[in-house]
Structure 1
Amino acid sequence: MTRLSAHIGYLYADVPLADRLAAAARDGFTAVEHPGPYEIPAAEMRRRLDDLGLGFSQITSGMGREGEKGLACLKGREAEFRAGFDRALDYAQAIGCPYLHPMAGVVTGGWLDAGEVYRTNLGWALEHCEGTGVRLLVEAITIPGYYMGTLRAAAELQDAFARRFDLLFDSYHAAVLGEDPAAWVAANVDRIGHVHIADHPGRHEPGTGRIDFSALLSALAGAGYGGAIGFEYIPSIPMAESARFLSRWKRLLPGASSLSTGVTQ
């Protein structure tokens, strides 16, 4: 069953982190995600999720300093990456989160060194996930200097690691790269473990840009995609209005409407 996941780093940013869970449930989301939710202890997070009928779909393993966008490819930061990964893995297991995203990071030095460090850290992280029920995600992100910048590179790396991790597909980044999101999903759905939704241009809610989300939904449903769909966009209007598209998405995605949030809407 497909969960519709609110990225509560982007959404509900005007309220305290702990209050964003109830706000997401109220508006019809059935899961949440956040890169670093650690201000809420894992036991408390699990209780809040259970009370609201929410899942937690993915977290990162450490963003690094402002602007670094991850640590996995940064030479000389291996110990920091691994400590952050261990913390995230423990937290993910405690709250029932199925995915960790070890963000690659923005390269400021040599790209060759970054590639070697990235692959070494990914291999180490994959070994640490064995037997935990948690899988890794890799995402192509179109931030200048970000090491993993294209869908092709992400897919090639996935194959090099015998598909031991899944891809995080983002509709906005795909459009920036000149890809047709629906066509790419239809051809590569077996690679995808998590989906991010934002329109292009502007990175706002669906319907504010040029992406054909009807075609993307048809591609996901037609391929039998059952993973979470995360909404990682910048709201252009208040969230109570912004989230109104969810009712239509639930009708179009098999199983999505059957997931009760436990909150009266």
Structure 2
Amino acid sequence: MTRQRFSAHIGYLYTDLPLVERPAAAARDGFTAIEHPEPWSIPAKDMRALLADLGLTFSQVTSGMGDANRGEKGLAALSGREAEFRAGFDRALDYAVAIGCPFVHPMAGVPKGDVLDAAETYRLNLSWALIRAQGSGVRVLVEAITIPGYHMGSLALTAQLQDQFHGCFDLLFDTYHAAVLGEDPVRWVAQNAKRIGHVHAADHPGRHEPGTGALAFDRILAALQGAGYAGAIGFEYIPSVTTSASAAFLPGWKRLLSEKVSP
């Protein structure tokens, strides 16, 4: 496992600060990467310079979120929104390439119409995105999310789809969503680590920082490390205190990994 790739999801963390100030706050607290679903207010050239100045990398970006005021959590499975989906994916892919981000996550969304129509729309949009990303150095992510009605709502479904696409995309594994789905994160990682391109860590219940709930993160880390996981761990949690105070677990995680990883 890469020792120092701890990624602050600055859509959840440091929300008391303007977006442009959040990367520096993350670096000060010991994170070595950041991620955000829609960082467009910071032009790519400025983001690249900011990352270089702070010694950070950018872990993953989302494409085509849709209208949050209408409860949209992505566009990929929404029939009739194909043109908007493609424009959003192109924007995210161009941004990712420009800043050296390895992943784009085209969120499936919450379709309102026919389930079969949504499934076909999603497969066609995903196929298009995979073709679009070829040769870019950027991989596509798919995540099981426990939002009611979300099209990709189970780990089994994401794994099945990944197999159908012959591993052409990676899974974003979220410890909180896995627990909500009744999965044992340790067992699932041990059995499926080869599927994972990116990890999100939040405790359960509560979706707060690690150490506030019941998840055994030492065992989850050991399972990832034992499987040779080399990606980033992103922290997409709701801080129970200030973000800086909530990040007090980071030194312990770094020590744990440094003790288990050979120099």
Which of 239, 251, 257 is matched with 1:253 structurally? 257
Shift of 1:170: 0.2
Return the offset for 1:251: 1.6
Q: CA deviation at 1:239?
A: 1.6
The offset of 1:243, in angstroms, is 0.4
Q: CA deviation at 1:255?
A: 9.9
The runs of at least 4 consecutive aligned structure 1 residues that moved more than 4 Å come to: 254-257
What corresponds to 2:172 in structure 1? Answer: 168
Question: Quick check: 1:221–1:254 contact (8 Å CA) kept in 2?
Answer: no
Cross-structure match for 2:139: 135
Of residues 210, 220, 227, the one that matches 1:223 is 227
Residue 52 of structure 1 aligns to which amino acid in structure 2?
Answer: L
Instruction: Report 1 or 2 for greater relative contact order, CA contacts < 8 Å, sequence distance ≥ 6.
Output: 1
Residue 117, structure 1, aligned to residue 121, structure 2? yes
Give the TM-score taking structure 1 as reference length. Answer: 0.95
Conservation of the 8 A alpha-carbon contact between 1:5 and 1:229: yes
Mapping of residues 1-265 of structure 1, within 5 Å: 1-2=2-3, 3-66=5-68, 67-254=71-258
CA distance in 2, matches of 1:255, 1:248: 11
Give the superposed CA RMSD.
1.5
- Judging changes above 3 Å, is the alpha-carbon distance between structure 1 residues 34 and 113 closer, same or farther for their aligned structure 2 residues? same
Q: Could you tell me how far apart the structure 2 residues matched to 1:50 and 1:254 are?
A: 24
Deviation at 1:256, TM superposition (A): 11
Amino acid aligned to 1:38: W
Distance 2:62 2:243 in 1: 24
Cα distance change of structure 1 residues 136 and 11 upon mapping to structure 2, 3 Å threshold? same
Give the Cα–Cα distance (whole angstroms) in 1 for the partners of residues 247 and 186 of structure 2: 21
Q: Using the alignment, how far apart are the partners of 2:246 and 2:236 within structure 1?
A: 12
Structure 1 portions without partners, runs of 5+: 258-265
- Structure 2 unaligned spans of 5+: none
Q: Secondary structure of the residue that 1:215 maps to in structure 2?
A: helix
Q: 1:250 touches 1:256 (CA, 8 Å); kept in 2?
A: no
Q: Deviations over 1:118-166 (max 9, x none)?
A: 0000000000000000000000000000000000000000000000000
* Corresponding letter in the other structure for 1:53: G
Aligned length: 258
What is the Cα deviation at residue 254 of structure 1?
4.7
TM-score of the superposed pair, with normalisation by structure 2: 0.96
Q: Report the AA paired with residue 49 of structure 1.
A: L
Distance 1:132 1:89 in 2: 8
Residues 160-183 of structure 1 deviation map (CA, whole Å, 9 limit, x = unaligned): 000000000000000001111011
Question: Residues of 1 paired with 2:76 and 2:197: CA distance?
Answer: 19
